A and B are shown apart, each in its own frame.
Chain A
Amino acid sequence: MSHSKKAAIFNKDEAKVNWHDKALWYVREKRDNAAHGVKGWEYLRDTASKIKGNVLSNLDNYLIEFEANAIKNNIKVHWASNAEEHNKIVHKILEEHNAKNVVKSKSMLTEECHLNPFLEAKGIEVVDTDLGEYIVQIAEETPSHIVLPAIHKTKEEVDELFQEHLGTNPSNGNPEYLTNEARKHLLNKFIEADGAITGVNFAIAETGGIVVCTNEGNADMGAHLAPVHIACMGIEKIIPKEADLGVFLRLLARSATGQPITTYSSHFNKPAEGTEIHIVIVDNGRTEQLSREDFRSSLHCIRCGACMNTCPIYRRSGGHSYDATIPGPIGSILSPGKDLKKHSSLPFASTLCGSCSNVCPVKINIHEQLYKWRQIIVKEESQPVVKKSILKITGKVLGNRTLYNLVGKSARFMLKYAPRFMVYSKLNTWGKARELPEVKNENFDTWYKINRKNNG
């Protein structure tokens, strides 16, 4: 189903859409406040973008350096070309430790690889321990936002889910009560766990260490209680030096939620006595994206979600309308590289306003890449007849002055005098859920000529 069709479903509940829109815009405003408080913010973004540019141009050597340093520190390193290999590697490690109860902290990569169903089919319980991810897991859904996974759920919906799954009392959606009940439940899961899986925010070539950022503390609770910690990362998570974290950690949380830093930024360099750390380095289409010059810089992404919070389309269509692991503007330039046919409607889910590129902490030219995907998609994928013919006609009209003037005149006439049912018909998508502006008698051209005469 195309993005627009799924967005139409999300838009059926107008009050919820309005809430979603405002809640995300509020996060965008918090990001602005935080960014404006940092001297040299734009230089910081610029530096981050350049470091990522260097990383992609030297990625093979950095990965080799990272691996060698990690191994020196008793960390075990694995490589997976695709999702299937990744899942098998994780399963094998768990099997070797006879692990049956696994706690997992947020990792978009394991979502992308569909790790949970793979492990569950092998009889391993996987509990997502980030509160938002826990909510979508028990709701049998997927995250609708990469930083705020359950942003599409109301507190009343969470209340009902917890009553059903945790046996909580009805609370009218009291966030403190519900969070505390989840805390108690998840503490038991952490204590019982015999394996922990986390994502990786940054992997440092120079030291062979990894950094994992959370606000809840769930990654650390899992990793330090279980005998084995498996950290899964895409190849693009590498940064050259530890000092580069100074740049990236200053940008990440401010861009994501407007916090100056996440509560916990944990630096794992060596396993604790008697425990193991495994790192799985995953390609799964990333080297292919690296080959596409126009889209390569999408691999700079540090998964802050700022482009989603600011996007007028995302805010009003919800993350699930993108039907992709990573939704929103960044997802719309990553997903077509993985499956052009399935995701061909995503680059059109944008007004090309450029707000995403303006807030991106690593300066990915997201809106330009969306435009470039469109050029490829209209050539390679068949487009809806209505869109095709309207664009053809538009092209003709805009290319012909007389025709353009004539069409303008008749449109103004129609808007003024045609009956409502004709103007607000199915053909006029601009008339959906909005009143068209009042029509003036002349177009800009005539107005300008008259006024120029009058004002000399």
Chain B
Amino acid sequence: MGRDAILKAIQKNKPSLIPLPEINLDAFEEPIDLLETFKEKVALVGGRIIALDAIKNIDSEIQKLYPNASKIISCIKESNLGTISISEKTNPHELEAVDLAIINGEFGVAENGAVWISEDNFPIRVLPFISNDLVIILNKEKLCSNLHEAYKLISERNRTFGLFISGPSKTADIEQCLVIGAQGAMSLTIILV
């Protein structure tokens, strides 16, 4: 009912075809240090970034950062800090009181400090949002300059659910005062290895 009427109205009212523009990506290219820019932007968006020499030091680093976390979900094999195990079958409501989640990130985007994470990195979709704090482990070689590059990197993925996450959840809805920690994770730490 609505469908046909809408499509008919569009056919009647739309202008004649305007071609899609060719996008010249060279126009956006600039000589930047990917790692330095990424670090700078993560700080800008309220995140914390730590570079480690070796992945085996992850657990002691995380314990230093989050000494009070007791309900921990680790989705990476390199960490032994997990105290709760979850699978695809876990009821998302059971994650209400999770203190800390540790997940892998796929790659970072230098221009905006975002990291692409997807369902492949965490079995329950709500996890990176509902966990009080979030740690993302990222290979420091896996950085791209901007979102145009980023979309090339995810073009062949299995499309289920994924996101660019840039910093901790935040709001400025009360008199424009920036408050870190709105409805999602209160803090985001990116550990570069």
Partners in one complex: yes
A291 within 8 A of B: yes
A139 within 8 A of B: no
Binds A, one of B54-62, B71-79, B135-143, B145-153: B145-153
Contact, CB under 8 Å: B93 / A250: no
Q: Nearest Cβ distance between residue B1 and chain A, in whole angstroms? A: 8
Question: Using Cβ atoms and an 8 Å threshold, which residues of chain B touch A220?
Answer: 125-126, 129, 163, 184
Contact, CB under 8 Å: B155 / A63: no
Question: Using Cβ atoms and an 8 Å threshold, which residues of chain B touch A179?
Answer: 171, 173-174, 179, 181-182
B105 within 8 A of A: no
* A221/B184 contact (C-beta < 8 A), A132-B173, A262-B166 known: yes
B2 within 8 A of A: yes
Contacts of B77-130 to chain A: CB distance below 8 A: 88, 92-93, 96, 109, 111-114, 124-126, 129-130
Question: Using Cβ atoms and an 8 Å threshold, which residues of chain A touch B162?
Answer: 266-267
Q: Nearest Cβ distance between residue B14 and chain A, in whole angstroms? A: 6
Contacts of B12-37 to chain A: CB distance below 8 A: 12-21, 23-24, 27-30
A225 within 8 A of B: yes
B185 within 8 A of A: yes
Contact, CB under 8 Å: A60 / B7: yes
Q: Nearest Cβ distance between residue A262 and chain B, in whole angstroms? A: 7
Contacts of A223-279 to chain B: CB distance below 8 A: 224-225, 235, 240, 242-243, 245-247, 249-250, 257, 259-270, 272-273
Contact, CB under 8 Å: A63 / B10: yes
* A217/B159 contact (C-beta < 8 A), A50-B21, A60-B11 known: no
B159 partner, pick from A78, A153, A209, A260, beta carbons under 8 A: A209
Give CA–CA (A53, B20) in the complex, Å. Answer: 8
Contact, CB under 8 Å: B155 / A217: no
* A81/B20 contact (C-beta < 8 A), A175-B177, A246-B147, A291-B12 known: no
Count residues on chain B whose CB falls below 8 Å from chain A CBs: 74
Give CA–CA (A83, B171) in the complex, Å. Answer: 30
Contacts of A208-222 to chain B: CB distance below 8 A: 209, 215-218, 220-221
Q: Nearest Cβ distance between residue B147 and chain A, in whole angstroms? A: 4
Smallest Cβ-Cβ distance to A67: which chain B residue = B3
A173 within 8 A of B: yes
Binds B, one of A35-43, A117-125, A377-385, A388-396: A35-43
Contact, CB under 8 Å: B125 / A263: no
Contacts of A147-192 to chain B: CB distance below 8 A: 148-151, 153-155, 158, 173, 175-176, 178-180, 183, 186-187, 190-191
Binds B, one of A282-290, A340-348, A367-375: A282-290
Question: Using Cβ atoms and an 8 Å threshold, which residues of chain B touch A23?
Answer: 175-176
Q: Interface readout for A7-49 with B: 1 if CB under 8 Å, 0 if not?
A: 0000000000000000100110000000000111001100100
Give CA–CA (A266, B119) in the complex, Å. Answer: 11
Give CA–CA (A77, B49) in the complex, Å. Answer: 41
Question: Using Cβ atoms and an 8 Å threshold, which residues of chain A touch B179?
Answer: 175-176, 179
Q: Nearest Cβ distance between residue B162 and chain A, in whole angstroms? A: 5
A225 partner, pick from B93, B146, B182, beta carbons under 8 A: B93
Smallest Cβ-Cβ distance to B9: which chain A residue = A287
A59 within 8 A of B: yes
* A235/B41 contact (C-beta < 8 A), A240-B20, A245-B147, A246-B151 known: no
A73 within 8 A of B: yes
B52 within 8 A of A: no
Contact, CB under 8 Å: B129 / A217: yes
| A-B CB contact pairs (8 Å), 14 listed | A39-B27, A40-B27, A54-B17, A57-B17, A59-B14, A155-B174, A176-B179, A190-B183, A235-B10, A245-B151, A259-B166, A263-B168, A270-B159, A296-B15
Q: With A150-B174, A261-B166, A264-B129 given, can you name 16 additional A-B contacts, CB distance below 8 Å?
A: A40-B27, A44-B28, A56-B15, A57-B16, A60-B7, A135-B173, A153-B174, A158-B174, A190-B183, A224-B125, A224-B126, A242-B151, A257-B172, A265-B114, A281-B6, A291-B13
